Amino acid sequence: MAGLIAGAADIFAEKLAAQQLPAPLTNLSIDDAGLSRSDLAQLFESQATSRRLDLEARRLGGEKRGYYSIGSSGHEGNAAMARALRVSDMAFLHYRSGAFLIERSRQAPGSTPIWDMALSFVASSEDPISGGRHKVLGSKPLFIPPQTSTIASHLPKAVGAAYAVSLARRIGLEDRVLPEDAVIFCNFGDASSNHSTAQGAFNTAAWTSFRNIPLPLVFMCEDNGIGISVPTPEGWVAANYANRPGLVYMACDGRDIASAFLGAQEAARCARLRKKPVFLHMRTVRLMGHAGSDVESAYRARAEIDTDADQDPLLHTARRLVQEGGCSLDDVSSIYGRIADQVRGAMENATTRPKLTSAAEVIAPLVPPAKTTPKAPAPADEKDRATAEPQHLSRIISLTLAEEMAAHKEIVVFGEDVGKKGGVYGASVRLQQKFGSGRVFDTLLDEQAILGMAIGLAHNGFLPIPEIQFLAYVHNAEDQIRGEAASLSFFSNGQYTNPMVVRIAGLAYQKGFGGHFHNDNSVSIFRDIPGVIVACPSSAADAARLLRESIRLAREESRVVIFIEPIALYGTKDLHEPGDGLMTAVLDDVKDAAPFGKVALEGNGADLAIVTYGNGAYMSRRCAKNLEQENIRTRIIDLRWLSPLPMEDVLKGVKGAKAVLIVDECRRSGSLSEEIMAKFMEAGLTQPVARLNGEDTFIPLGPAADTVLVSEDGIMDAARALAAANTRTKK
């Protein structure tokens, strides 16, 4: 035994050798839990394998041949949950779930969990889940999408996935990923249960269940009593969840495999058969500190650390193997020794495997691989008369959504007030009447829940089109896009994707509601998220074209698209004169889509190219007419795509123009005009360039708003100044 503990202290092995097995925690037998001797032996193997992987990861970390490691030691009771669930019960895992993953792999013949995890721990490009990008617990054949390290951020999508299981059944979705009777599983720590993201997910699940909507979901809180160095108040978790309306509370002891398996089975059964969300509270211990670099003795008393070590779940399973499993202590020791050798061999081998070596390789899965067989559109539904008449932007959006929903049965639209009311601006009007409350539904008031719902739905083959009511309100839920939706393809090397089109009403110039929160003019939070596409239409016709292309990008290329709808243009009908109707469109006449990465070029004036989007494009069009009367001939380059910026097309568009004006309605700092300016510099643009932006401020109420926003007067002045400078240079 001594040989196998070299490098990192193996307290389990030491205690086993010293025959220090703990007293039973319960009077349950393995028979009571429905476990056979061979079940017990297999569970022990999974637990022991996970433990040895932790120890080896630490050893390699210490030798600078591996990386920061956060282990599963003390939490190996979660193997019982893996055994109680089916492999197709999608699992969103806490980082201490090594034993769960190993145990689950028994249900997928041919799995090689030790080798796979070893490759992941040493960041080899052969790691089958992340391709060497991150140490994550995940697997495509095991239905385990990889999770990020942000605690609790996987809970909203678990709720969404559970909702997606029952919704797929209700509306008869054909191409679903998960079986009809699947359960969704997620686990997390005791400290994480306090996070607002977790609280939001519990509340969403409870709210859903309270309304008698089936939600086959198990939340498992693995309570080791501490979060890094901060103890969770004794009894807090039970007190908090034992009596929540809509949540079924159960408890078990993860240190004792019989108790853990009983609890796991009961929770799985309740979720699967009663379709109720369950909160399973599993007692665990944390062994070897929080993570590889953590010095636990700095904040925990020695006695406390030792007490936990005495209650090691491996020791409890070992005791059962001896008392009920027909093994001797020597048998247990030799099983453990064999596993230790196997894990060490795998880890050593893994260190010799290749790593990612170029930026191109690293970033490749930010754009997911194209689908091999995009689903064919269904035959078009009967036409809405409204498509034959001129419509303003918000109505065109609802009509385009209707067109797309009729063609693609997997599309679902949801958000705050999108159902009966049809959205606060009517952009989803009449969709619920047409497609039913399964495909168009009101959510509870929680943007994080809405976006988590979108991710979860996407995991079961839906194409979600969530609506965020106002741009200013996406910020408290931003991580669901930034940390979760956008990163999934990256961390799974393109194996998991969550395509969606997030519609967001935003930008300024709104005359109805005033003030900042309904006039938020910054989109910078989306523009730096790797892989995310941002689109913004500036007219009704373009809204149809851009929305079609955004939906295609999500459906066929699995992309995450943010679709910013300028609120101020929602109801705008006229461009130059009252009654000209130039901002409206007849949907039946707009047959095309706006190709991704291509700008809309209007006019070919040689004096000035105006690069703009959204409200800026609207104002620039109006100004172009007036400038023409002053002999300043313009062309307008409507970006359409705000991220990634279609710079190749922009550079083509400005060619031959004597000057360039960037009309960027967003506030200056972090604005896309900064990026355009930088790219103009890099491209060696020779024409004079100027830019207009909103001031770096929040938007005030009433006419004061005009003092801080780009205005038509401002555009006229800047255009004249550029033209005059050109005339002077010519002289």
Residues 6+ apart with CB under 8 A from 661: 608, 609, 610, 611, 689, 690, 691, 692, 715, 718, 719, 722
User: Which of 45, 190, 404, 484 contacts ligand TPP by CB under 6 A?
Assistant: 190
Minimum CB–partner distance for residue 197 and ligand TPP (Å): 7
Q: Is 150 in the site for ligand TPP (CB under 6 A)?
A: yes
Tell me the HSE value of 70 on the side-chain side, using a 13 A CA sphere: 13
Q: Residue 189: beta bridge partners?
A: 222
Task: Quote the CA–CA distance of 181 and 166 in Å, as a whole number.
Answer: 8
Stretch that binds ligand TPP, among 143-151, 493-501, 508-516, 605-613 (CB under 6 A): 143-151
In the complex with ligand TPP, the residue whose CB is nearer, 135 or 621, is 135
In the complex with Mg ion, the residue whose CB is nearer, 163 or 241, is 241
In the complex with ligand TPP, the residue whose CB is nearer, 59 or 290, is 290
Contact between 51 and 314 under an 8 Å Cβ cutoff? The reply is: yes
SS3 content of the chain, % helix, strand, coil (to 5): 45, 15, 40
Q: What is the DSSP string of 271-319?
A: IIII---EEEEEE----S-SSTT--GGGTS-HHHHHHHHHT-HHHHHHH
Minimum CB–partner distance for residue 255 and ligand TPP (Å): 14
Stretch that binds ligand TPP, among 188-196, 524-532, 546-554, 571-579 (CB under 6 A): 188-196
Minimum CB–partner distance for residue 148 and ligand TPP (Å): 9
Task: Quote the CA–CA distance of 14 and 293 in Å, as a whole number.
Answer: 22
Diameter over CA atoms, the chain: 101
In the complex with Mg ion, the residue whose CB is nearer, 83 or 94, is 94
Q: What is the DSSP string of 31-93?
A: HHHT--HHHHHHHHHHHHHHHHHHHHHHHHHHTTSS------TT-TTHHHHHHHS-TTS-EE-
Task: Quote the CA–CA distance of 407 and 378 in Å, as a whole number.
Answer: 5
Q: Which does 437 bind (CB under 5 to 8 A by kind): ligand TPP, Mg ion, none?
A: none
Q: Which does 52 bind (CB under 5 to 8 A by kind): Mg ion, ligand TPP, none?
A: none
The token pair that represents 65 in the structure block: 């041949």
Stretch that binds ligand TPP, among 6-14, 224-232, 376-384, 596-604 (CB under 6 A): 224-232
Task: Quote the CA–CA distance of 152 and 201 in Å, as a whole number.
Answer: 9
Q: Is 50 in the site for ligand TPP (CB under 6 A)?
A: no
User: Which of 32, 210, 211, 228 contacts ligand TPP by CB under 6 A?
Assistant: 228
Minimum CB–partner distance for residue 130 and Mg ion (Å): 25
In the complex with Mg ion, the residue whose CB is nearer, 224 or 443, is 224
At residue 690, the 3 state secondary structure works out as strand
In the complex with ligand TPP, the residue whose CB is nearer, 68 or 517, is 68
Task: Quote the CA–CA distance of 305 and 287 in Å, as a whole number.
Answer: 8
Q: What is the DSSP letter of 519?
A: S
Minimum CB–partner distance for residue 222 and Mg ion (Å): 7
Minimum CB–partner distance for residue 219 and ligand TPP (Å): 13
Residues 6+ apart with CB under 8 A from 400: 543, 544, 547, 548, 587
Residues 266-295 touching ligand TPP, rule: CB under 6 A, are 286, 290
Task: Quote the CA–CA distance of 551 and 81 in Å, as a whole number.
Answer: 38
Alpha helices in 126-256 (DSSP H): 155-171, 196-210, 236-241
The token pair that represents 8 in the structure block: 């990192």
In the complex with ligand TPP, the residue whose CB is nearer, 21 or 264, is 264
User: Which of 113, 145, 189, 277 contacts ligand TPP by CB under 6 A?
Assistant: 189
Minimum CB–partner distance for residue 451 and ligand TPP (Å): 16
Q: Is 191 in the site for ligand TPP (CB under 6 A)?
A: yes
Stretch that binds ligand TPP, among 121-129, 225-233, 427-435, 620-628 (CB under 6 A): 225-233
Q: Which does 149 bind (CB under 5 to 8 A by kind): ligand TPP, Mg ion, none?
A: ligand TPP
Q: Which residue is nearest to ligand TPP (CB)?
A: 189
Q: Is 395 in the site for ligand TPP (CB under 6 A)?
A: no
Q: Residue 503: beta bridge partners?
A: 467, 563
The size of the interface with ligand TPP (CB under 6 A), counted in residues, is 15
Stretch that binds ligand TPP, among 4-12, 219-227, 247-255, 336-344 (CB under 6 A): 219-227
Task: Quote the CA–CA distance of 224 and 74 in Å, as a whole number.
Answer: 8
Main-chain phi, psi angles of 150, to 5 degrees: -70, 115
Q: Which does 228 bind (CB under 5 to 8 A by kind): ligand TPP, Mg ion, none?
A: ligand TPP
Q: Residue 217: beta bridge partners?
A: 184
- What b/e readout covers 132-165, taking b as 16+ CB neighbours within 10 angstroms? bbbbbbbbeebbbbbbbeebbbbbbbbbbbbbbb
Q: Which residue is nearest to Mg ion (CB)?
A: 189
Q: Which does 150 bind (CB under 5 to 8 A by kind): Mg ion, ligand TPP, none?
A: ligand TPP
Q: Which does 88 bind (CB under 5 to 8 A by kind): Mg ion, ligand TPP, none?
A: none
Stretch that binds ligand TPP, among 145-153, 552-560, 561-569, 620-628 (CB under 6 A): 145-153
Minimum CB–partner distance for residue 191 and Mg ion (Å): 5
Minimum CB–partner distance for residue 96 and Mg ion (Å): 9
In the complex with ligand TPP, the residue whose CB is nearer, 227 or 653, is 227
Q: Is 415 in the site for ligand TPP (CB under 6 A)?
A: no
Q: Which does 98 bind (CB under 5 to 8 A by kind): ligand TPP, Mg ion, none?
A: none
Task: Quote the CA–CA distance of 324 and 604 in Å, as a whole number.
Answer: 86
Contact between 197 and 156 under an 8 Å Cβ cutoff? The reply is: yes
In the complex with ligand TPP, the residue whose CB is nearer, 101 or 609, is 101
Task: Quote the CA–CA distance of 539 and 600 in Å, as a whole number.
Answer: 11
User: Which of 21, 151, 162, 346 contacts ligand TPP by CB under 6 A?
Assistant: 151
In the complex with Mg ion, the residue whose CB is nearer, 119 or 226, is 226
Q: Is 260 in the site for ligand TPP (CB under 6 A)?
A: no
Contact between 511 and 656 under an 8 Å Cβ cutoff? The reply is: no
Rg of the chain in Å (alpha carbons) = 29
Residues 84-113 touching ligand TPP, rule: CB under 6 A, are 96
User: Which of 226, 247, 451, 627 contacts ligand TPP by CB under 6 A?
Assistant: 226
Q: Is 227 in the site for ligand TPP (CB under 6 A)?
A: yes
Contact between 587 and 403 under an 8 Å Cβ cutoff? The reply is: yes
Q: Which does 666 bind (CB under 5 to 8 A by kind): ligand TPP, Mg ion, none?
A: none
Tell me the HSE value of 558 on the side-chain side, using a 13 A CA sphere: 24
Positions that interact with Mg ion (CB under 5 A): 189-191, 224, 226-227
Cα 225 to chain center, whole Å?
Answer: 28
The token pair that represents 178 in the structure block: 């998960």
Task: Quote the CA–CA distance of 177 and 174 in Å, as a whole number.
Answer: 9
By the criterion CB under 6 A, which residues form the site for ligand TPP?
A: 96, 149-151, 188-192, 224, 226-228, 286, 290
